[in-house]
Amino acid sequence: MVDEQASDLQAELDEALFSLEELIGESPQEALSMFESLPGEVRARPEFRLSKARALQASDALEEARALCESVLAEAQDPLLEADVHHLLGDVLEDLGESDRANEHFLTVLTLDRASFSEQRHLTDAELIARVQTLLSQVVEDLPEAARATLHGAEVELFPSEQDVRLGLDPRAFSALGEDGERRQFKVYAANLDAEYGDLEELGEFDEHVELELRHQISDHLQL
């Protein structure tokens, strides 16, 4: 009975957090109002405070967002939450023009995400890379000939490199387009796609969603 009640409570919290996150994209101010309407014990939870920080960032209250991120980070004990806080704090610092400090947090995200991936992945490294490479090859093959001709290559890696992150690439990016004159190299980061869509494997929808994401990514990079 106790386990069932705990499960029901967690389901309610997950639903409330999902609704809050959705509202941030639509109206940050309404999201902040929703946050304040929640019970105090819910507002005190770190994952809800992190959502409030996202809403503050979206409302251009950057210093408040920074302070709240730092407060949550000081208390974070779960590595997944810690990585999320570092990621948001890096974003906020970039918005504040503090790129060097932002990069420190993004490099920490890369380290934490690599560790989490090694414990939670549903495929081996080789299996995941091969699967995403197959999807990527199909996406590239379906490109208009003129667009395909501008690509020097399209390859899959697990994560962005530390050097790429230092140069400003989001450690959780799904893809990147490197350019050297007219030569373009499209890179896809399989572990980040798995973090976003891996749960869909149980529904048999992983390939479908990853392929759609890759089409969106390459179309965006090539401005199709």
Distances from the Cα of 170 to the Cαs of 87, 211, 220, in angstroms?
9, 21, 16
Q: What is the DSSP string of the chain?
A: -HHHHHHHHHHHHHHHHHHHHHHHHH-HHHHHHHHHHS-HHHHTSHHHHHHHHHHHHHTT-HHHHHHHHHHHHHH--SHHHHHHHHHHHHHHHHHTT-HHHHHHHHHHHHHHHHHHHHHH-SS-HHHHHHHHHHHHHHHHHTS-HHHHHTEEEEEEESS--HHHHHTT--TT-SEEEEEETTEEEEEEEHHHHHHHHGGGGGGT-HHHHHHHHHHHHHHHHHT-
Categorize the per-residue pLDDT at 19 as very low, low, confident or very high, splitting at 50, 70 and 90: very high
Shared domain check, 98 and 163: no
Shared domain check, 70 and 110: yes
How high is the pLDDT of residue 3?
64
Shared domain check, 196 and 146: yes
- By residue range, what is the domain housing residue 169? 125-222
Q: What is the pLDDT of residues 180-190, one digit of tens each?
A: 666 789 999 99
pLDDT, mean of residues 11-18? 88
Shared domain check, 216 and 129: yes
Shared domain check, 218 and 185: yes
Shared domain check, 52 and 92: yes
Looking at the chain, the whole-number percentage of residues with pLDDT higher than 90 is 78
How high is the pLDDT of residue 4?
63
Q: Does residue 1 register a pLDDT over 70?
A: no
How high is the pLDDT of residue 181?
67
Shared domain check, 100 and 26: yes
Domain termination site, one of 120, 152, 174 = 120
Q: What is the pLDDT of residues 23-40, one digit of tens each?
A: 999 999 999 999 999 999
Q: Does residue 193 register a pLDDT over 60?
A: yes
Shared domain check, 148 and 49: no
How high is the pLDDT of residue 8?
67
Q: Does residue 77 register a pLDDT over 60?
A: yes
Shared domain check, 10 and 104: yes
Shared domain check, 148 and 92: no
Shared domain check, 111 and 20: yes
Average pLDDT of the chain to the nearest whole number: 92
Which is it for the CA torsion 13, 209, 80, 52, positive or negative? negative
How high is the pLDDT of residue 165?
96
How high is the pLDDT of residue 203?
76
Angle at 81 between CA 75 and CA 84, to 5 degrees: 115
Buried-exposed string 34-46: b where 16+ CB fall within 10 A, e elsewhere: bbeebeeebeeeb
Number of domains making up the chain: 2
What CATH number is attached to the domain comprising 203? 3.30.2010
Shared domain check, 132 and 113: no
Domain termination site, one of 120, 148, 163 = 120
How high is the pLDDT of residue 183?
75
What CATH number is attached to the domain comprising 18? 1.25.40.10
Domain termination site, one of 120, 138, 158 = 120
Looking at the chain, the whole-number percentage of residues with pLDDT higher than 70 is 95
